[in-house]
Structure 1
């Protein structure tokens, strides 16, 4: 079929509804976060090398097989995480297809949607590299940080679904800059967290070398980033109060405060109790929630809000 004919047939397809587009975009957020959490389950159960190669599970077999050195449960945990990549990919491709079919076609929206399946491919390759390098701590860290970026972009995708979003309220001129700074601190917080993990006991496999730095020192650095980040979030709340913002933005803000406080409390409990496996996965879940909430607030102050002069108060 000629390319022009194929393009004409695609363009003739009906425009998908906003509700469907939003539902699929939210599914992308959920699946991107879920695979980060299941990745932590692989690590804390020591299943990272349950499948010893990639893209096959065992040499000569795509699926787990009986093996004298690897328990069946570990193989299936790792293989299940790989299967979930397919679910993430389906949601990502569906989001791109819907964005491409939406009319009028918006370049920003389509580009964000295209980043979803491309990100899945990148993550699959990184996962393979991680396995082939026997779970070196920095490969695991890079794998997680790319997941963090994908979660952030998927929230932006949800925000971009509406072609004409409802007008927002005015916010103080200093707020976008403060939130951008907080994102930089959040990146430092996440990187420090991956280093704590790299030096900690949960390597994904008992034979994997760990980061040769004191875990306690790294944990203190991680906590310092948390305190700075929380302080910037609270400062953002003060600025929001002076701007007279609407309920939608306040709701995003208080969700962020709640998840940051819960994540911080969980981190301290995790440290004091010797990093139990369940709390590790819950902490990764909390990290994804912080990323989602931060991205949602960041989008709310840029895409739906006008910037007010200092001291100006306008209600929506």
Structure 2
């Protein structure tokens, strides 16, 4: 009889625990992005001028004639908070190893959490060594945004616990993809505005040599484009009979996008006050999480009853989840056989 492998000897992870840890990862990833913005707006980016030590020969802040104690402790506190993220990320990965049945997608998403922390630590170290120059700070924030998205995907994978199938037509899913790309461009433009703005993290740090008004206009134009795509997505979801869960998540996305847009306008009109910068970073992370939640809601486990398409009267034609029209009897047969085929092949499209 074959001896069980080391992984098989791990305690089995309850599904509820896996999902709670995934939710904790979302909160931790958003939290570290916000605290990083606090470091910037308080000018504490070089409060600890070396990395991984705070000062040469000391892991903790020490009295220094050229550095204010507030700046030291704000930067050091952000580094300490990163430890929480390390613990949560490691717990997610260990829990995924103990999940049964073991699923490749769950493992990869859980592994992205600790790997992302390592990548962020390296980027953060390079940012400090580069003196907080704007092009080194941009990837630090964008990496956090990517990890927020992946953490939301991890929550969905922990909830579904099975291969999934689409619950929207291909055209709607394509619109979701296009809107996601537009959101990415919007976030990059936001980092450019910050790179040219007054909050560098340290007063001596050189800024991006492009006028803030021009970059703010670009950011606003991309926001209006993204809003247009979101509105179009709403009409598409209404026309195709989206599931209640997808409609709820779409409503949350609309709310946070509108609030974030209003906050950005107020922030610009008031001259970019420090407190609103951190709120704007929080808003960017929440918009990302809401968009990722909409993305994940376009699919459902194959074992779930199909509820995406509106009920079709006998003898009428209905659209299957892939968007192809079929007869009523053919659609019933396809919906019955597709979960079995997907489960047999293990298909789990993103």
Aligning the two structures, in what range does the TM-score lie when normalised by the shorter sequence? over 0.9
Query: 1:95, 1:22 → 2: CA distance?
Result: 9
Query: 2:56, 2:199 → 1: CA distance?
Result: 25
The answer on 1:138 being equivalent to 2:135 is yes
- Whether the 8 Å contact between 1:170 and 1:243 is mirrored in structure 2 is no
TM, length-normalised to structure 1: 0.93
Query: 1:126, 1:110 → 2: CA distance?
Result: 24
Name the residue aligned to 1:148.
Answer: 145
Deviation readout 1:122-170 (Å, 9 max, x if unpaired):
0001000000100010111011111111111111000101354698884
The answer on 1:209 being equivalent to 2:206 is yes
Q: Structure 1: 5+ residue runs without aligned partners?
A: none
TM, length-normalised to structure 2: 0.84
- Whether the 8 Å contact between 2:39 and 2:201 is mirrored in structure 1 is yes
Aligned length: 310
Name the residue aligned to 1:54.
Answer: 51
Query: 2:41, 2:160 → 1: CA distance?
Result: 42
- Structure 1 residue corresponding to 2:215, chosen from 205, 218, 231: 218
Following superposition, the deviation at residue 16 of structure 1 comes to 1.2
Indicate the SS of the match to 1:307: coil
Following superposition, the deviation at residue 11 of structure 1 comes to 1.2
The answer on 1:183 being equivalent to 2:186 is no
- Whether the 8 Å contact between 2:26 and 2:151 is mirrored in structure 1 is yes
Name the residue aligned to 2:76.
Answer: 79
Name the residue aligned to 2:341.
Answer: none
Distance of aligned partners of 1:252 and 1:131 in 2 relative to their CA distance in 1, 3 Å threshold: same
Counterpart mapping for 1:272-287 below 5 A? 272-287=269-284
Q: Compute the RMSD of aligned alpha carbons.
A: 2.2
Name the residue aligned to 1:289.
Answer: 286
Query: 1:188, 1:169 → 2: CA distance?
Result: 26
The answer on 1:34 being equivalent to 2:48 is no
- Whether the 8 Å contact between 1:155 and 1:295 is mirrored in structure 2 is yes
Larger Rg: 2
Q: Structure 2: 5+ residue runs without aligned partners?
A: 302-307, 309-319, 332-350
Following superposition, the deviation at residue 302 of structure 1 comes to 3.3
